[in-house]
Amino acid sequence: MAKLKQWLYNKFLPAWCKDNLLEENARLKLKLAELKQKNDLLNAYIEGFTNAVRLQRKITVNTGEVSK
């Protein structure tokens, strides 16, 4: 599919339009890679936090009534 798109761009688009399109695509690919990396980092934080919350243990001391 990518080869077909590239062929269509090169065959039918004017030079100025093709250059703008290719530059915009490259810029968007970089932005997408940055956002994917940030998303992976945030998902790792969320996973670590949920694991920490699940592993917390309750410690109870002297649960009975106090008599005087």
What is the pTM assigned to this prediction? 0.62
pLDDT given for residue 68 in this prediction: 58
Instruction: Give the domain ranges of the chain.
Output: 2-54
The conformational region for residue 14 under phi > 0 = left, psi -120 to 50 = alpha, else beta, is beta
pLDDT given for residue 44 in this prediction: 96
* Torsion 56-61-66-68 (CA) sign: negative
List Cβ neighbours of 22 (8 Å cut-off, separation of 6 or more): 9
Q: What is the pLDDT of residues 2-45, one digit of tens each?
A: 888 888 878 888 888 888 988 999 999 999 999 999 999 999 99
Q: Assign 47 a pLDDT band (cuts: 50, 70, 90).
A: very high
